[in-house]
Amino acid sequence: MRGRHPQVTRAARRRGRPLAAQADRYALYQKSVQSPEFDIALMNRIYRAHNGRPPLLLREDFCGAAALACAWAGSRRDRQAYGIDLDPEPLAWGALHNWQALPEEARRRVQLMRGDVRTARTPRADVIAAHNFSFFIFREREQLRDYFRSARRQLAEGGLLVLDVLGGSDTQTEDREEVRRIGGGVRYVWEQKRYDPINSRALFAIHFAFKDGSLLQDAFTYDWRMWTIPELRELLAEAGFAFSEVYWEDAEAETGEGSGVFRRRERAGAEACWMAVIAAGMRAPR
């Protein structure tokens, strides 16, 4: 991911320094995209169903600013978390804003590491989370299988690798935008710029628009391979996982939008845009 300079309307220039130039893109990202408490509750539910006890040690791969790792440590006094990312900028921001915001006792139970998730070594985790479709940066089967194989070796007995997945026909279109308000007069804009059906490669961007007319364009950009669920489950099996299961997000009856409720499913309808969670482990489900 990388940031870009804000675009500014003439009106915003006349009023002085635009809001986009003052914005903190990581704070806006966390406000608009992330929900650590929801993720923790879902991972806790899935892990308990397999092990009959709560998970205690989390490894957050591709952690960025480590919002999930820090929230994990803050959720219980007996929980530990490791956050790993290659990019030093979001790690530094997360240390200042997320890690420092924790009580001192909780900070001692979080370790942030700069490194490649395929080679980084940590204590074996109850849960390894690769969220926000972060593993889509691996565009070749061998790369992704190597990551899955490495993650499997870093799991404790009964541990789970938890991935979120995005798909549907709407994600395979070009020049499409989703806009929603996130408060404070700010609008979040998700843009689908390109899609190549031959290699299933897509280019996306996040922008933030402000009430003074200024625009923080390309605050984050993503060049992903759009992996399908069958491909991912096949690669997980090739990497040595004994099972994988899919948790599908229910749709609201009135709007058709995602409800935030994920249930284990074997089949699903052809929704235009969907989100799912895959949990993979080494011990057969009960």
pLDDT at 12: 45
Q: Is residue 67 included in any domain, yes or no?
A: yes
Identify whether residues 87 and 154 lie together within a single domain.
yes
Identify whether residues 276 and 255 lie together within a single domain.
yes
pLDDT at 86: 98
Q: Is residue 5 included in any domain, yes or no?
A: no
- Asked whether the beta carbons of 219 and 25 are under 8 A apart, the reply is yes
In the chain, pLDDT over 90 holds for what percent of residues?
Answer: 85
Best CA proximity match to 159, nearest among 42, 36, 286, 280:
280
In this model, does residue 256 exceed pLDDT 70?
no
Average pLDDT, the chain: 92
Q: For 190-207, how does the pLDDT look when each residue is reduced to its tens digit (9 = 90+)?
A: 999 999 999 999 999 999
Q: Is residue 201 included in any domain, yes or no?
A: yes
Identify whether residues 108 and 207 lie together within a single domain.
no
Identify whether residues 57 and 129 lie together within a single domain.
yes
pLDDT top residue among 5 and 251 = 251
Into how many domains does the chain fold? Answer: 2
Mean pLDDT of 254-274: 84
In Å, how far from its chain's centre is CA 180? 19
Identify whether residues 190 and 135 lie together within a single domain.
no
pLDDT band at 253, cuts 50/70/90? low
| φ, ψ at 93 (rounded to 5°) | -65, -45
pLDDT at 227: 98
Mean pLDDT of 117-127: 97
Q: Is residue 123 included in any domain, yes or no?
A: yes
Q: Is residue 3 included in any domain, yes or no?
A: no
In this model, does residue 254 exceed pLDDT 80?
no
pLDDT at 250: 84
Q: For 48-101, how does the pLDDT look when each residue is reduced to its tens digit (9 = 90+)?
A: 999 999 999 999 999 999 999 999 999 999 999 999 999 999 999 999 999 999
Mean pLDDT of 9-25: 75
pLDDT top residue among 270 and 207 = 207
CATH label of the domain that carries residue 42: 3.40.50.150
Q: Is residue 2 included in any domain, yes or no?
A: no
Q: For 242-252, how does the pLDDT look when each residue is reduced to its tens digit (9 = 90+)?
A: 999 999 988 76
Identify whether residues 238 and 126 lie together within a single domain.
yes
Identify whether residues 240 and 110 lie together within a single domain.
yes
Q: Is residue 157 included in any domain, yes or no?
A: yes
Distance between CA atoms of 57 and 150, rounded to whole angstroms?
Answer: 17
pLDDT at 270: 87
Best CA proximity match to 88, nearest among 216, 2, 178:
2
Distance between CA atoms of 192 and 81, rounded to whole angstroms?
Answer: 33
pLDDT at 3: 43
pLDDT top residue among 120 and 13 = 120
Q: Is residue 4 included in any domain, yes or no?
A: no
Identify whether residues 211 and 81 lie together within a single domain.
no
Q: Which residue has the tokens 């984050």?
A: 220
The residues with which 165 forms a beta bridge, in sequence order, are 276
Identify whether residues 14 and 137 lie together within a single domain.
no
Identify whether residues 62 and 131 lie together within a single domain.
yes
Identify whether residues 203 and 65 lie together within a single domain.
no
Mean pLDDT of 21-50: 97
Range of the domain at 18: 10-24+178-225
In this model, does residue 19 exceed pLDDT 90?
yes
pLDDT at 259: 75
pLDDT at 272: 87
Mean pLDDT of 96-111: 98
Distance between CA atoms of 117 and 250, rounded to whole angstroms?
Answer: 31
Identify whether residues 130 and 240 lie together within a single domain.
yes
pLDDT at 1: 38
Q: For 139-190, how does the pLDDT look when each residue is reduced to its tens digit (9 = 90+)?
A: 999 999 999 999 999 999 999 999 999 999 999 989 889 999 999 999 999 9
